[in-house]
Amino acid sequence: MLTVHHLNNSRSQRIVWLCEELGIDYTLVHHQRDAETLRAPDSLRAVHVLGKAPTIEHDGQTIIETDAIIEYICQVCAGGRLSRAPSAPDYGQYLQWLAFSEGTLFPGLGVDLIYAWTGGGNAVFMSFFEVEITKNHQYVEAALTDQAYLLPSGFSAADINLGWSLEFSEARGRTKALPAIQAYLARLRARPAYRRALERGGPQDLSVFSAGVV
């Protein structure tokens, strides 16, 4: 049995959503952030020394890292569904978008949040990340202008991965002038499995990450 360790208001919501899209059986273990620090609780560190969310357990393995978990579940637990096979014409694009969310888009957003939380004070430092944040969002906006999902072949696990990061972007006030991204998020949220994931995983309140947003 697949066990998914889920931290409220976190990227692990993606894994709950993925499992609901795939319709696979899984056990969901809830963990709650510290209300003051927003850090993960000791219960997650009892599962994995790094205390990461998401974390999954399956067939004696404990696995962290969102991208790895997504591919593991798609390939091992779901026969490749929502992934793309190496023989698929858009396999390379699938891998690119799967990695883009955590590897390119989110790091700048994380810096943006920490900068706001700590009161800023170094405009030169933040100006570097502002350029990157803007460029990354414009890249996504252009990709979604003429198609419903990231791949021409349709919805995939890469959309699930990117969707949560864009919700975080939204909480940081970064999607206001990006209509294609706004429409994309509306499509994702309209999916029945997305709604089921919120019912099972618990409602999200990403406004906790909106520090400094006007």
pLDDT in tens, 130-147: 999 999 999 999 999 999
Examine the domain organization and report whether 129 and 159 are in the same domain.
yes
Strands 2-7, 26-31: pairing kind: parallel
Task: For residues 54-80, give the mean pLDDT.
Answer: 98
Residues 45, 39 contacting (CB under 8 angstroms):
no
Residues 164 and 186 grouped into a single domain: yes
pLDDT at 209 over 90: yes
Of 57, 83, 109, the last residue of a domain is 83
Residues 77 and 100 in one domain: no
Q: Which phi and psi angles does 202 have, rounded to 5°?
A: 105, 150
- Output the pTM of the full model: 0.96
We report the CATH number of the domain holding residue 111 as: 1.20.1050.10
Average pLDDT for the chain: 97
| Residue pair 126/115 in contact by the 8 Å Cβ criterion | yes
Question: Could you tell me if residue 38 is inside a domain?
Answer: yes
> How many beta carbons lie within 10 A of that of residue 68, not counting itself?
12
134 and 116 fall within a common domain: yes
Please say whether the beta carbons of 38 and 208 come within 8 A.
Answer: yes
Is the pLDDT score of 214 beyond 90?
no
- With cut-offs at 50, 70 and 90, classify the pLDDT of residue 40: very high
SS3 at position 27: strand
Give domain status of residue 176, yes or no.
yes
Quickly state the pLDDT bin for 35 (edges 50, 70, 90).
confident
Q: What is the pLDDT of residue 36?
A: 86
CA–CA gap between residue 199 and residue 183 (Å, rounded): 22
Average pLDDT over residues 19-26: 98
Main-chain dihedrals φ then ψ at residue 148, nearest 5 degrees: -75, -35
- Look at residue 148 and tell me if it is in a domain: yes
> Can you give the pLDDT at residue 41?
94
Section 13-33 average pLDDT: 98
* CA distance linking residue 106 with residue 89, whole number of Å: 27
Query: How many structural domains is the chain composed of?
Result: 2
Indicate if the alpha-carbon torsion angle 3, 5, 9, 13 is positive or negative: negative
Give the range of the structural domain holding residue 123, as residue numbers without chain letter.
91-195
CA distance to 18, 30, 78, 98, 148, per residue, from 90 (Å): 20, 35, 19, 12, 15
What is the rounded CA–CA span in Å between residue 101 and residue 67? 9
Rg of the chain (C-alpha set): 17
- pLDDT at position 47 is 98
- pLDDT value at 100 more than 90: yes
d(CA 184, CA 187): 5
Domain assignment of residue 155, yes or no: yes
Taken as a whole, the chain contains a residue count of 214
Report how far residue 111's alpha carbon sits from residue 107's, in angstroms, rounded to the nearest whole number.
6
